[in-house]
Amino acid sequence: MHRLTLPVDDGNSLERYVIPNLRNACWIMKLLAQHSDGLKAAEIARTLKIPVTTTLRIMATLQLEGYVRKKDGRFELGSVLIHLGNASLAGTEIRTAALPVLHELTARTDETSHLAVPCDDHALIVAVQDSPHPLRAASRPGTLTELHCSSTGKSFIAFLHHHRLEELFGKGRLTKRTAHTQDTLAEVRKEVAVTRKRGYSLDDEEFNLGVRCLAAPIYSSDGVVVAAIGITAATVRFTRERIPEMGGIVTECAARLSRQLGYHRSN
């Protein structure tokens, strides 16, 4: 186990912009990373020389946002950090591998293609290859989209989060972005079954009117969905009749990218 050392002010000009309690929160998470069995608030305060009352306020905030969780009176790192870590890794390694595939996907479909990774129960767009058409509706890199009404988000629901449907969507109606948005748990369950059967997800004017999107999951070498790749197009070009054709192209590209990451169907 590495010993935690606190940063020392080296005179760097960035020091003047530091928010003390935000830095304390960072130190706390680094400390918890070294203690898999968790720590009590008093132990954290004593180790980092932070007042107990300040520590309790920071822990309450981190717990509320999912960065830590409390179990038997001890704090440990929360599940949100798993999603953020996955997003960080995927946004670098997978993005690099995906760029040529996105270029090919746009060339084959003549539509805008995009890559997204799961991030804190959302889909995070990390790369976009624009269509040559002047009319484009794709989200830009860095955009967080809701799971239930975006094509990449639906891929994550069906192939990554399908065992968490009640947890994610069982607390009432979801945001209804358009008249076509599926906003109930029952509708989400039905869509998951359809998506898993055909192998790709469809946003049929559910995020934006006049826009149809289709996506397929990307697997890592251990068989876990780490990203999704898809296309976004105006409905006047991407008609319902073209869905099977586009689905075949997108799933083919997604499968090839999965293989590049070391995934094999037998995993």
Give CA–CA dist 238/111, Å, rounded: 9
pTM of this structure? 0.68
Say whether both 94 and 68 belong to one domain.
no
Least Cα distance to 109 among 255, 254, 232 occurs for 232
Which residue bears the tokens 């898809």? 230
The model's pLDDT over 81-121, given as tens digits with 9 standing for 90+, comes to: 766 765 665 556 788 889 999 999 999 999 999 999 988 78
The pair of structure tokens assigned to 87 is: 């997003």
Say whether both 117 and 70 belong to one domain.
no
pLDDT over 70, % of the chain: 88
Say whether both 117 and 23 belong to one domain.
no
Stretch 23-34: mean pLDDT, rounded? 91
Q: What is the pLDDT of residue 2?
A: 47
Among 54, 78, 102, the domain boundary falls at 78
Among 49, 78, 107, the domain boundary falls at 78
Give CA–CA dist 147/131, Å, rounded: 24
What residues make up the domain containing 18? Answer: 13-78
Q: What is the pLDDT of residue 94?
A: 84
Say whether both 117 and 160 belong to one domain.
yes
Give CA–CA dist 183/95, Å, rounded: 31
The answer to whether 250 and 114 are in contact (CB under 8 A) is no
Q: What count of other Cβ atoms lies within 10 Å of the Cβ of residue 65?
A: 12
Say whether both 71 and 106 belong to one domain.
no
- pLDDT of residue 152 exceeding 80, the answer is yes
Say whether both 142 and 91 belong to one domain.
yes
For residue 3, is it within any domain? no
Q: What is the pLDDT of residue 81?
A: 78
Say whether both 165 and 247 belong to one domain.
yes
